[in-house]
Amino acid sequence: MTEIYRIAIDGPSGAGKSTIAKAVAKKLGIDYIDTGAMYRAIGYKISSEGIDPKDEAAVNDMLERTQIDFRQGDIFLDETCVNEEIRTPEMSMMASVCSQIPAVREKLVQLQRGMGERKSVIMDGRDIGTNVLKDAEYKIYLTASAEERAHRRFLELQQKGEEQSYEAVLEDIRQRDHNDMTRELNPLRKADDAIELDTTGLDIDQVVQRVLEIVGK
């Protein structure tokens, strides 16, 4: 039997976590779990149902009748694929707001732990190495300067035809860093036993190579 191993990737918004994790998963033939997409899916549901994120009872009720899973890399919210819907700047903000709600974190962390139980996975997010998969075999903290991250996101949005100025994207990144790092519950921080990888100035292939070296594959 081949041994099961888990790779945890954490870091701030726009550090390239999902691009890198996806490429590494493909190389290693293991599953990729994008936990940010799960917070976005909850944000999408809250917003499309017009629920007030501060209304605890309504949020709890919504969580009870919500199913999230991944199928061949696509995210499904209650049996509907929401890959596209969750990738807007509005949903980035909604996800950030939702990720501060204790009941939301509790539900998603439980789901994420289940996903990393029986098979090798690479999971990315903000609290994977510090909370979700504390005993992961490999932990990587991916960073890049706020300016570089904003530049990458700006180009991505431009390609999608979404109009946002570089300054607005940078401001958005800074705001989300602040939210992620200062929230009460499982804030973003490097796990003591994580390896920090600064991707400023590196291209995707170089970072993927570094990760493969770290996990010794």
Least distance between ligand DC and beta carbon 87 (Å): 8
Question: Which residue's CB is nearer to ligand DC, number 30 or number 109?
Answer: 109
Output the CA–CA distances (angstroms, integers) from residue 145 to 171, 199, 201, in the order listed: 13, 8, 10
Least distance between ligand DC and beta carbon 126 (Å): 4
Least distance between ligand DC and beta carbon 42 (Å): 9
* Residue found under tokens 């504390």: 134
DSSP β-ladder status, 80-81 and 74-77: antiparallel
Question: Which residue's CB is nearer to ligand DC, number 95 or number 144?
Answer: 95
Question: Which residue's CB is nearer to ligand DC, number 142 or number 208?
Answer: 142
Return left, alpha or beta for 72; rule: phi > 0 is left, psi -120 to 50 is alpha, else beta.
left
* Residue found under tokens 């974190």: 105
Least distance between ligand DC and beta carbon 156 (Å): 12
Question: Which residue's CB is nearer to ligand DC, number 18 or number 120?
Answer: 18
In sequence order, the β-bridge partners of residue 77 are 68, 80
Element (H, E) at 8: strand 6-10
Chain residues that interact with ligand DC, rule: CB under 6 A: 13, 35-37, 39-40, 92, 95-96, 99, 125-127, 176, 180
